Amino acid sequence: MKIIFDVKHLYYLPQYLPVYEELKSNNIETSFLFHRDPDEQTNNICKTVIDTLKLPANWVNQWSDAISYYRKTKATWIVVGNAIDNEKMLHEVSKTALMLHGIGPKACYYDSSNNQTSVRFVEGQHRLKRLSKLFPEGNFIDTGYAKLDPAFNQSKPPYKLQQLGLDPNKKTILYAPTFYPSSIELFPRDFPAELSDHNLIIKPHFFSLTKNRYRKQKQLIESWQQHTNVYVAPLVEYNLLPFMQIADILISEASSAMFEFAALGKPVIWADFYKLRWSYRGVLSFRFTQRIDSDIQYFNQVAYRAKKYPQIKQLLEELVNGNDYKSKERNEIIPELAGTIDGKCSKRIVDYFINNP
């Protein structure tokens, strides 16, 4: 048996790596296929990660090259992190498995199954039922969300606050904004100073620090980095999970991170205010709505909603003082959105591969 993980973007890796470790423990031949980015800085970061983790990796320039590589290699399974084109060409030589890189409320969570892989691993009965209804010919298996496995099976130790230059005696706030739609530009420049009694970890999306169109986000993040209570995760620290493990409270937007942090049993603040492009405003606001799936309704159950920045500070004060009145409701709904949380999701995925060669 031979399995290849398709790495179009570096942020797919946190979902893949726990499964990779399980495959290694079963002595199954495994490798990664990375896609070169037009930005050489991004490629160099990927190379650093590959070297650090000692990943067996190859490179392609574009998807057509990947198809040629896969058809030549004839792996048993090709694992992808999002929807792909020309999957029928791959199915002539291999089977394909979709492990979507997030469990957030964006419409792409469901749209990605428009073209059918041989199997899609999903998280929980709510997602399983919806996908099965939308795509009755699809093959959906509820395995849970493999990305969270290390937090529950202790296979990888989390970071220590001292390592990041932060005070272990303070509460730690994790701000994990996405690149679009994002709240970053609506946070004040002195945001960290207002939280001087707490540690602040800022984990931007990869695109916020690498794509030129988001350069204003990068400039603001760099200004926040000057504060002594702040740690900004560098690009090479692509995995949010180790930061979630040491944080007490998360601030994020319409992203997978909110469900992931809630799955760890911790409170989340939903920054429900965004800097929208002109093409997403006014009569064109439907474009923003189209990006978001109805699953966003669950944010109100798992998270504390802030419609403007000043509410963030108020909510933080309440949560730091232990007033987490949504904990019971959060714990009840999370299994519907993240599936079984037992540190064994990767094992269920690998068992499926083994039983379906």
- The confidence band for 178, taking pLDDT boundaries of 50, 70 and 90, is confident
Q: What pLDDT sits at residue 157? A: 81
- Judged against a pLDDT cut of 80, whether residue 287 lies above it is answered with no
d(CA 341, CA 347): 12
**Tokens 């919806």 correspond to what residue?**
130
**pTM for the whole structure:** 0.89
204-261 per-position pLDDT tens digit: 988 888 888 888 899 999 999 999 999 999 999 999 999 999 999 999 987 788 889 9
In a 13 Å sphere around the CA of 1, the CA atoms on its Cβ side amount to: 17
Confidence (pLDDT) at 233: 95
pLDDT score of 281 more than 50 = no
Strands 249-252 and 172-175: parallel
C-alpha–C-alpha distance, residues 350 and 333, integer Å: 27
Q: Does residue 141 have a pLDDT over 60?
A: yes
Exposure of 200 in the CB half-sphere (CA atoms within 13 A)? 22
User: Where residue 283 falls among pLDDT bands split at 50, 70, 90?
Assistant: very low
107: confidence class by pLDDT, cuts 50, 70, 90: low
Taking 80 as the threshold, does the pLDDT of residue 296 lie above it?
no
Give the tokens for residue 92. 């002539």
Residue 103 corresponds to which tokens in the numbers above? 């469990």
The closest alpha carbon to 150, from 309, 320, 19, 11, belongs to 19
- Supply the pLDDT for residue 127: 87
Q: Which two tokens stand for residue 86?
A: 């020309």
Work out the average pLDDT over 94-123: 83
Q: Inform me whether the pLDDT recorded for 182 exceeds 70.
A: yes
Read off the pLDDT of residues 38-56 as tens digits, 9 standing for 90 and up.
989 899 999 999 999 999 9
Q: Report the percent of the chain where pLDDT is more than 90.
A: 68
Let me know if 64 is exposed, middle or buried by CB neighbors in 10 A (0-12, 13-18, 19+): exposed
Residue 24 predicted with pLDDT over 70: yes
Is pLDDT at 297 greater than 80 in this prediction?
no
pLDDT score, position 336: 83
Confidence of residue 294 (pLDDT cuts 50, 70, 90): low
Q: Is the model's pLDDT at 76 over the cut of 90?
A: yes
Domains in the chain (CATH in brackets) are 2-145+340-355 (3.40.50.2000), 161-338 (3.40.50.2000)
pLDDT at 278: 43
Q: Which DSSP letter does residue 28 get?
A: -
**pLDDT score for 105:** 58
At residue 333, does pLDDT exceed 90? no
* Residues contacting residue 245 through CB under 8 Å, at least 6 positions apart: 151, 158, 159, 264
Compute the mean pLDDT over every residue in the chain, rounded to the nearest whole number: 89
CA atoms of 146 and 331, how far apart (whole Å): 18
User: How many of the other CB atoms lie within 10 Å of CB of 326?
Assistant: 18
pLDDT band (50, 70, 90) for residue 335:
confident
Going by pLDDT thresholds of 50, 70 and 90, the confidence category of residue 300 is confident
What confidence tier does 288 reach under pLDDT thresholds 50, 70, 90?
A: very low
